[in-house]
């Protein structure tokens, strides 16, 4: 049995990335490192489809989210956060922690936010300074319509639109400048196909104007310090050097493949996986499913925690279970990362084998066949 | 020519650590990772010589310093920071950024703080809530007498003693509980012999009481969240998984060698390097030199920036130059990290060869001989 990782972060990463990280250490102020950082920054502009500034921070994605809050806002400023899962909730928690006047728009877990609800809020609250949303909600597998929301935010307010694109950047179509997204964040262990430990913030010029007036306390996550450093092809603080060595490789691979091809591949993997689940009589959790990951309901007759453990212990496949209120109720399969069609066929097989172990009633092979059919149709 | 890294962070790291980091990715909530984290935490207790809590954060050392400020203090509380270099200055900047009533005690760069000055301040300012000091000041190569300072702080105040041990932990004798240090921080790329990207905070029970009353805003660096996570052998946020895989290896090596042996080895490398410099007619910058690194003055007749560049470009050895006001005036050689006696002999040779290139007047071989003599005497 060989271990296969299918969690929606960290995801499986290419051998080329792993090998690059085992190279000898280098100093972060030397020309060798500067070349790596310059290449990474250049490719991240492409990755986010933006000409704005891009910073690499040494933190998890949550650190980058905090960085947005403390750099873009001042105390008591009105903000809207959209919460339809664990990560949408986090925007609200962060804004509250730093003393913003925080309005939380709750969406049932499994649903995408209705863009009209954002429009309504902004029309009634013209003093809203920023809207914080989640593009792909990792806890529920739901994708939101960021393009439409961006249009609504800019046509109805002066608010900034700040997008958690942690599990969408590089995976779902994402065009920062074209859509008018002001700030986007991601983490290294998702669509970037590198280990966790780095996060990325991409910023529009419009967002920069807010940074100048922000009065929230900050130091480690201070964008002004990062901007000064970046002008010298450096980071404000000692960065995760090995992780950047790895990221250099994965970004080169992404650039060689092309974003449009990456997006299309992920859409195909996700579509096939959803078809496989349905063919086994399983239900999808998300009503607007993200192509980054698929959240599948565990049948009520099966203990969801045991199901996930069984798949890992007997078949070597690690998927994620549900978090918070979804604990034991769903399992989540990553598509973002270093995966191809045959990985999803293997995954479907593991799901079938595990369902069999729990005496679920289904036609053996139906899931694998449904997954494979999508790839056959594509030829 | 093969590259050799002698910068005081990042430092050279063992092959075993590098290889461990190229292993396949694993999930941070699984049992395989929990075993790694548990081992790291256990070894870090030994590393800091403490039975208090130890947290691993995904950030540079500066992030851990910020974490101390925002978790231990409340706004307007009086603190003393000692500033005798770039990193001592940072404590002051952090405390100011978060609105502490910050008193900065300046010490000339190159000198260690006089513990009596701290005593005097505390006697005159009985409301001081915390004292922030630097054990080994990386910008100047100076070591401070933390043991004496700890005694003074506890005998003269209720203040917490918070120590930046970023370039001292694992390198200089450091006994957190025995000396009565309340909080200590380090980074992964120093005495821990791993790449940068992780930081560590070790905390006494006494420090915890302050965390409970702190009103400074925080989220990513919230110790309470880390404590809850640690009880489940986890971190609050997705950690730098590959870096922890590496740290597991280096800590195993440190534990196998024994801290006392590590300390003795570093002391010997530093002593030999200092003798080598003096034998070449060079002057040391630090009046109380740290054994973590040696700061050597560049002779006035030589351009310090060109000197460092020459050593790297022609002989493959990367040392650090001076920072801020010391730019071009000193060069700094790391001892902490994965170095042995012969590394320091090679380093002395590179210094001689480079001095020759700049027409410095010295007896060829005198530096190498002086370094080697120390190792011969040890037999």
Q: Closest approach of chain B CAs to the CA of A239, in angstroms? A: 6
Beta-sheet pairing, B53-57 with B128-134: unpaired
Which of B27, B64, B225 to probe by mutation at the A interface, max A CB count within 10 Å?
B27
- d(CA A162, CA B74) in angstroms, rounded, equals 30
Closest CA to B331 of B343, B356, B348: B348
For chain A, say whether B110 makes contact (Cβ under 8 Å): no
Q: Flag if A58 and B59 touch (Cβ within 8 Å).
A: yes
Residue A193, CB-side half-sphere exposure with 13 Å CA sphere = 25
**Is B242 in the A-facing interface, judged by CB distances under 8 Å?**
yes
Closest CA to A248 of A87, A56, A24: A56
Distance, in Å, from the CA atom of A188 to the CA atom of A60, rounded to the nearest integer, reads: 8
Q: What number is the average pLDDT over the span A318-338?
A: 97
Interchain proximity B187–A217, CB inside 8 Å: no
- Cβ neighbors of A35 (< 8 A, separation 6 or more) are none
Q: For chains A and B, what is the number of CB pairs under 8 angstroms?
A: 182
- How many CB atoms lie under 10 A from the CB of residue A261? 11
d(CA B351, CA B360): 11
Looking at CA atoms only, how far is residue A80 from chain B in angstroms?
19
B197-228: per-residue pLDDT in tens? 999 999 999 999 999 999 999 999 999 999 99
Residue by residue, DSSP assigns B210-240 as HHHH--S--STT-HHHHHHHHTTT--SS---
C-alpha span between B166 and B201 (Å, rounded): 10
Query: Does any CB of chain B come closer than 8 Å to the CB of residue A8?
Result: no
- How confident is the model over B283-288, as a mean pLDDT? 98
- B142: number of Cβ within 10 Å: 28
B97 vs A218: CB contact, 8 Å cut-off? Answer: yes
A41-58 per-position pLDDT tens digit: 999 999 999 999 999 999
Q: Testing the interface with A: which of B195, B229, B336 to mutate, by most A Cβ within 10 A? A: B195
Is B294:B277 a contact under the CB 8 Å cutoff? yes
C-alpha span between A178 and A150 (Å, rounded): 10
Predicted pLDDT at A315? 98
Sheet holding A53-57, edge to edge: A53-57, A199-203, A183-187, A160-164, A128-134, A78-83, A101-106
Q: Is residue A139 within 8 angstroms of chain B, CB to CB? A: no
What is B41-70 written as a DSSP string? HHHHHHHHT-SSEEEEESS-HHHHHHHHHH
Spatial distance between the Cα atoms of A353 and A369, rounded to a whole number of angstroms: 14
pLDDT at A136: 98
- Is the pLDDT at B379 greater than 70? The verdict is no
Q: What is the pLDDT of residue B216?
A: 98
> Global pTM?
0.97
Partner residue facing B60 (CB), from A60, A218, A237: A237
The verdict on a CB contact (< 8 Å) between B195 and A318 is no
Contact list in B for residue A98 (CB cut-off 8 A) is 217, 219
Contact between A277 and A296 under an 8 Å Cβ cutoff? The reply is yes
- Using one digit for the tens of pLDDT, what is the confidence trace for A260-280? 999 999 999 999 999 999 999
Give B190's contacts in chain A (Cβ within 8 Å): none
Residue B378's Cβ-count burial label (10 Å; 0-12, 13-18, 19+) is exposed
Q: Are B30 and A241 a contacting pair at CB < 8 A?
A: no
List C-alpha distances in Å: B16 to A16, A39, A41, B45, B260: 19, 28, 30, 22, 22
Contacts of A24 in chain B (CB under 8 A): 3, 5, 12-13, 18
Average pLDDT over residues B240-264: 98
Q: Across the interface, do B18 and A23 touch by the CB < 8 Å criterion?
A: yes
pLDDT digits (tens, 9 = 90+) for B135-147: 999 999 999 999 9
Does residue A215 belong to the interface with chain B, where contact is any CB pair within 8 Å?
A: no
Separation between Cα atoms, residue B80 and residue B102, nearest integer Å:
6
Q: What are phi and psi of B146, to 5 degrees?
A: -65, -35
Cβ neighbours of A320 in B, within 8 Å: 27, 29
Q: Which helix (H) or strand (E) holds B152?
A: helix B146-156
pLDDT band at A337 (very low <50, low <70, confident <90, very high): very high
Task: Give the list of residues 6+ apart from residue A19 with CB closer than 8 angstroms, or none.
Answer: B22
Name the band, by pLDDT with cuts 50, 70 and 90, for residue A378: confident
Q: For chain B, give me the number of helices (H) and strands (E)?
A: 14, 14
Q: Searching chain B, which residue's CA lies closest to the CA of residue A22?
A: B18
Rg (CA), chain B: 21
Indicate the angle between helix axes B341-357 and B366-377, nearest 10 degrees: 170
Q: Which residue segments constitute the domains of chain A, with CATH numbers given?
A: 4-8+258-377 (3.90.1150.10), 15-256 (3.40.640.10)
Report A:23-52 residues touching B (Cβ under 8 A).
23-30
Name the 3-class secondary structure at A165: coil
Q: Phi/psi at B331 (nearest 5 deg)?
A: -130, 150
Q: pLDDT-based confidence at A1, cuts 50/70/90?
A: confident
State percent of chain B over pLDDT 90. Answer: 99
Distance CA A185, CA A163 (A): 7
A62/B19 CB distance under 8 A: no
Contacts of B98 in chain A (CB under 8 A): 217, 219
Quote the ipTM score.
0.97
Q: By C-alpha distance, which of B127, B173, B128 is closest to B148?
A: B173
For chain A, say whether B219 makes contact (Cβ under 8 Å): yes
The reply to whether B349 touches chain A by the CB within 8 Å rule is: no
* Distance (Å, whole) CA A202 – CA B211: 33
Query: Nearest 10 degrees: CA dihedral of B313, A17, A29, B269?
Result: -70
- Residue B378 has what pLDDT? 73
Cβ within 8 Å of A, B 298-337: 312, 318, 320
B98·A219 Cβ contact <8 A: yes
pLDDT of residue A379: 63
The nearest CA of chain B is from the CA of A57 a distance in Å of 8
Chain A residues within an 8 Å CB radius of B63: 58-59, 220, 237
Q: Is A251 exposed, middle or buried (0-12, 13-18, 19+ CB in 10 A)?
A: buried
Backbone angles phi, psi at A189, to 5 degrees: -95, 20
Q: In the β-sheet with A320-321, what is the strand arrangement from edge to edge?
A: A293-297, A330-334, A320-321
User: Is B243 at the interface with chain A, CB within 8 A?
Assistant: yes
**What is the tens place of the pLDDT at every residue in B160-194?**
999 999 999 999 999 999 999 999 999 999 999 99
The C-alpha atoms of residue B240 and residue A60 are separated, in whole angstroms, by 8
What is the residue-averaged pLDDT of chain A? 97
């Amino acid at each position: 049995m060989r271990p296969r990782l299918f969690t929606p972060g960290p995801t499986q990463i290419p051998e080329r990335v792993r090998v690059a990280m085992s190279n000898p250490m280098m100093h972060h102020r030397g020309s060798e490192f500067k070349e790596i950082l310059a290449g990474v920054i250049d490719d991240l502009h492409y990755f986010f489809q933006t000409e704005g500034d891009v910073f690499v921070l040494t933190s998890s994605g949550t650190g980058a989210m905090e960085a947005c809050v403390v750099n873009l806002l001042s105390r008591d400023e009105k903000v809207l956060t959209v919460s339809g899962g664990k990560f949408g909730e986090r925007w609200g928690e962060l804004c509250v922690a730093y003393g913003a006047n925080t309005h939380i728009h709750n969406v049932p877990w499994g649903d995408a936010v209705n863009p009209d609800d954002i429009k309504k809020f902004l029309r009634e609250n013209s003093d809203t300074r920023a809207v914080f949303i989640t593009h792909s909600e990792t806890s529920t597998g739901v994708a939101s319509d960021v393009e439409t929301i961006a249009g609504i935010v800019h046509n109805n307010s002066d608010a900034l639109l700040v997008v958690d694109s942690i599990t969408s950047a590089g995976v779902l179509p994402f065009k920062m400048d074209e859509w008018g997204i002001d700030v986007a964040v991601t983490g290294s262990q998702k669509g970037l196909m590198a280990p966790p430990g780095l996060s990325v913030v991409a910023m529009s010029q419009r967002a920069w104007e807010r940074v100048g007036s922000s009065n929230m306390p900050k130091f480690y996550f201070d964008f002004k310090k990062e901007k000064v450093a970046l002008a010298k092809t450096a980071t404000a603080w000692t960065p995760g050097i090995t992780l950047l060595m790895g990221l250099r490789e994965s970004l080169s691979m992404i650039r060689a493949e092309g974003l449009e091809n990456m997006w299309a591949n992920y859409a195909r993997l996700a579509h096939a996986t959803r078809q496989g689940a349905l063919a086994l009589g399983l239900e999808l959790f998300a009503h607007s499913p993200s192509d980054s990951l698929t959240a599948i309901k565990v049948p009520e007759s099966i203990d969801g925690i045991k199901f996930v453990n069984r798949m890992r212990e007997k078949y070597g496949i690690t998927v994620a279970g549900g978090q918070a209120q979804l604990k034991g109720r769903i399992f989540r399969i990553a598509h973002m990362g270093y995966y191809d069609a045959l990985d999803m066929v293997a995954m479907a097989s593991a799901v079938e084998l595990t369902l069999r172990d729990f005496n679920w009633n289904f036609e053996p092979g139906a899931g694998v066949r449904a997954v494979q059919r999508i790839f056959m149709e594509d030829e």
